[in-house]
Amino acid sequence: MLNLGCGGRYRADWVNVNFPSTGPGVIAANLIEGIPFPDASFDVVYHSHLLEHIPKPLAWGFLKECHRVLKPGGIIRVVVPDLEAMTRSYLEALEKARAGKKGWDYNYDWMMLEMYDQVVRDQSGGEMARYLLGASIPNEEYVIGRCGTEVRNMIVAGRRSRSGAPVATQSTVSGVRKLFDVIPVHSFIKQIYGMFRKSGGWKEKLVQQLLGSEYEVLQAGRFRRGGEIHKWMYDSYSLGRLLLTCGFKSVAVRSATESCISHWSSQNLDTEPDGSVYKPDSLFMEALA
Ligand SMILES: C[S@@+](CC[C@H](N)C(=O)[O-])C[C@H]1O[C@@H](n2cnc3c(N)ncnc32)[C@H](O)[C@@H]1O
């Protein structure tokens, strides 16, 4: 069983892949460049909140790769933020905020963050992190109800850091950035940068000097290529259609606990050990190769 873009959610009895590696045994591979396994290697391919980080024109090729590494009849399970549910919640929040219903102005603000912040941000965590790490979250229950464990952990981390207790956080931001794909720069500078980026900090400082005010553009480009940004969003219609065009069959929407994968709930990937849903804002879909 293969878990792609596992982040911190890797399991010992799965083959786990992330870019960069996030833990012991997690294979580092940039999945945009292909899935580094032979044809028909796996019974299950699973990815959660990865597909939306892949640029739309590359999503088809990535899912074709998932199909290639699955055995015939193997199961793909794709989990993404549910665009349809999100937009319905946005509309609900908009209508209730407009009608002046108590507390819904905050819910409206949260829905705007949920829809746009991860698309537009230039810095890790963006406005969403600022909101969740803030001293007061007036609609905490709503926010946790929508987004689950990760958001709860951030709120707890914020509280702990304000109280002076040590905080364990895990960054999901990935590594390799190709600056010069992002901004046009003279090839001489390109060569110097190529030499310097292989080693440490003083060389980075030199790049900073060379680029001057353009350095900010480099930093933004590095970040936006790093894997944290949402590059596209899916609903059950568009994801189902995409899976079909990649050769999958028996496409179906599932819940967090429902699956054709045997003993799914005990894997604790889409659920927590207490039975709660890990990312309640998700669309869960499965299909067969
Ligand atoms: C939002 S996190 C989801 C992590 C985990 N699957 C979960 O549901 O909590 C997305 C993960 O995909 C990884 N990722 C993004 N783009 C990637 C790529 N091109 N190749 C490999 N991993 C990638 C990121 O490093 C990050 O760990």
Joined tokens for residue 166:
């040590």
pLDDT in tens, 29-38: 999 999 999 9
Is residue 107 within 8 A of residue 97, CB to CB? The reply is yes
Judged against a pLDDT cut of 50, whether residue 28 lies above it is answered with yes
Is residue 56 within 8 A of residue 231, CB to CB? The reply is yes
Residue nearest to atom 13 of ligand 1 (CA): 5
* Atom number, ligand 1, closest to the C-alpha of residue 31: 20
Q: What is the mean pLDDT of residues 67-82?
A: 98
Decide yes or no: CATH 3.40.50.1980 for domain 2-81+234-288.
Answer: no
Cα(7) to centroid(ligand 1), Å: 5
Return the pLDDT at 183: 38
CA distance to 35, 181, 197, per residue, from 189 (Å) = 33, 13, 12
Return the pLDDT at 190: 55
Distance CA(206)–CA(226), nearest Å, equals 22
Q: What is the mean pLDDT of residues 205-217?
A: 92
Would you place residue 44 in the very low, low, confident or very high pLDDT band (cuts 50, 70, 90)?
very high
Return the pLDDT at 202: 84
Distance CA(137)–CA(135), nearest Å, equals 7
- DSSP class per residue in 14-40: SEEEESS--STTPEE--GGG--SS-TT
Residue nearest to atom 16 of ligand 1 (CA): 227
Judged against a pLDDT cut of 70, whether residue 185 lies above it is answered with no
Would you place residue 84 in the very low, low, confident or very high pLDDT band (cuts 50, 70, 90)?
very high
Q: Which of 130-134, 189-193, 203-207, 221-225 has the lowest mean pLDDT?
A: 189-193
Judged against a pLDDT cut of 80, whether residue 66 lies above it is answered with yes
Rg (CA), the chain: 21
Distance CA(159)–CA(11), nearest Å, equals 29
E strand intervals along 122-247: none
Residues above pLDDT 90, as percent of the chain: 80
Judged against a pLDDT cut of 80, whether residue 225 lies above it is answered with yes
Q: Which of 13-27, 60-74, 193-207, 214-228 has the lowest mean pLDDT?
A: 193-207
Average pLDDT across the chain, whole number: 89
Judged against a pLDDT cut of 50, whether residue 173 lies above it is answered with no
- DSSP class per residue in 229-252: S----B-HHHHHHHHHHTT-EEEE
Is residue 143 within 8 A of residue 279, CB to CB? The reply is no
Distance CA(171)–CA(128), nearest Å, equals 14
The model carries a pTM of 0.86
Return the pLDDT at 93: 98
Judged against a pLDDT cut of 50, whether residue 121 lies above it is answered with yes
Return the pLDDT at 181: 34
Regarding predicted confidence, which is higher, 16 or 194? Answer: 16
Cα(47) to centroid(ligand 1), Å: 9
Return the pLDDT at 176: 28
Q: What is the mean pLDDT of residues 111-133?
A: 95
* Atom number, ligand 1, closest to the C-alpha of residue 18: 22
pLDDT in tens, 186-206: 455 555 555 555 555 888 889
Return the pLDDT at 193: 54
Judged against a pLDDT cut of 90, whether residue 61 lies above it is answered with yes
* Domain ranges (residues) in the chain: 2-81+234-288, 83-162, 179-224
Residue nearest to atom 27 of ligand 1 (CA): 7
Q: Which residues form ligand 1's pocket by a CB distance below 6 Å? A: 5-7, 9, 18-19, 30-32, 48-50, 53, 172, 174, 227
